[in-house]
């Protein structure tokens, strides 16, 4: 099987096709543990942050982090990888390494990192991200990594025991509604075991515009059924 290196440009096209990331989009990135979900999210965020002239969307992002896998340094490197992808596409005005580093830092400064350590933190973070729009702050994307992180912590403390599927749907709805209220796009990662509706649970369902399904078997990864390799973890 032939593997392809997931440059941001290739990844963006693989997920969104020719039309790109439309307004109001909700993106789900699912997969088992250590399948590259946060890396894929980081690459897609890097594309959203990059300047227009380098194929990006020049957005500002609220990143609600439950697993703390994406940080300023890793995101800066992901943006630099994005710039390298596009500067190799025949552009006349190619930035130097120093200029790429400065552009990457500027892009990372447009990310509001919100680190969460409890369910209450996540609830407050969604409120904070939603009210950023009302306050006139410029946010185009709310990203949540990892939606299912606090399930077992909540399971031990809640009187009402939710199945994994109901828990997933509950938080998907909360994120989707916050994005609707703020007129922004949404993106989240979730462990694929939470997508299995084993007990026939019903509940609110937000429309997922794009679904990214990752798998990992014997160290080999696939994205939506296509073999993929991650270069330098960016």
Q: Is 215 within the bounds of a domain? A: yes
Half-sphere exposure of 37 (CA within 13 A, CB side): 29
Whole-number pLDDT of residue 109: 96
Distance CA 98, CA 187 (A): 31
Q: Could you read off the pLDDT of 116-151 as tens digits, one per residue?
A: 999 999 999 998 887 775 555 688 999 999 999 999
Asked if 35 and 228 touch (Cβ cutoff 8 Å), the reply is no
Q: Could you read off the pLDDT of 77-125 as tens digits, one per residue?
A: 999 988 888 776 666 677 888 999 999 999 999 999 999 999 999 999 9
State yes or no: pLDDT of 4 exceeds 60.
Answer: no
β-strand partners of 187: 27, 143
Sheet holding 26-31, edge to edge: 4-5, 226-229, 220-223, 210-217, 26-31, 185-191, 141-145, 61-65, 111-115
The pLDDT-based confidence of 153 (bands split at 50, 70, 90) is confident
Nearest to 79 by CA among 124, 47, 57, 123: 47
Distance CA 202, CA 228 (A): 34
Q: How many residues does the chain have?
A: 234
In percent, how much of the chain has pLDDT > 90?
52
Q: What is the mean pLDDT of residues 203-216?
A: 86
Q: Is 167 within the bounds of a domain? A: yes
What letters, b where the CB count within 10 A reaches 16 and e where it falls short, cover 7-30? Answer: bbbebbebbbeeeebeeebbbbbb
Whole-number pLDDT of residue 144: 97
Q: Is 150 within the bounds of a domain? A: yes
* Mean confidence (pLDDT) of the chain: 85
Distance CA 30, CA 67 (A): 14
Q: Based on the structure, what is the number of domains in the chain?
A: 1
Asked if 174 and 203 touch (Cβ cutoff 8 Å), the reply is no
Nearest to 210 by CA among 6, 14, 38, 4: 14
State yes or no: pLDDT of 221 exceeds 60.
Answer: yes
The pLDDT-based confidence of 191 (bands split at 50, 70, 90) is very high
Q: What is the mean pLDDT of residues 35-54?
A: 92
Domain span at 26: 4-229
Say which CATH number the domain at 164 has: 3.40.50.300
Q: Is 234 within the bounds of a domain? A: no
């Amino acid at each position: 099987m032939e593997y392809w290196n997931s440059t941001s440009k290739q990844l963006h096209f693989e997920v969104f096709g020719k039309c790109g990331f439309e307004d109001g989009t909700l993106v789900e990135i699912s997969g088992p543990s250590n399948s590259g979900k946060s890396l894929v999210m980081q690459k897609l965020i890097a594309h959203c942050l990059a300047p227009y002239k380098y194929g990006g969307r020049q957005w500002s992002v609220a990143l609600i982090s439950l697993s703390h896998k994406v940080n300023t340094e890793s995101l800066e490197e992901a943006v630099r990888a994005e710039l390298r992808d596009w500067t190799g596409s025949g552009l006349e005005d190619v930035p130097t390494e120093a200029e790429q580093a400065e552009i990457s830092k500027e892009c990372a400064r447009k990310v509001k990192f919100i680190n969460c350590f409890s369910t209450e933190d996540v609830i407050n973070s969604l409120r904070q991200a939603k009210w950023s729009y009302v306050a006139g702050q410029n946010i185009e994307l709310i990203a949540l990594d990892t939606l299912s992180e606090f399930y077992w912590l909540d399971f031990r403390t809640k009187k009402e025991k939710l199945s994994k599927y109901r828990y997933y749907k509950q938080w998907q709805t909360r994120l989707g509604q916050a994005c609707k209220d703020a007129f922004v796009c949404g993106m989240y990662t979730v462990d694929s075991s939470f997508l299995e509706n084993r007990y026939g649970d019903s509940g609110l369902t937000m429309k997922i515009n794009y679904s990214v399904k990752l798998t990992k078997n014997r160290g080999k990864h696939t994205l939506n059924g296509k073999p993929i390799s991650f270069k330098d973890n960016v």
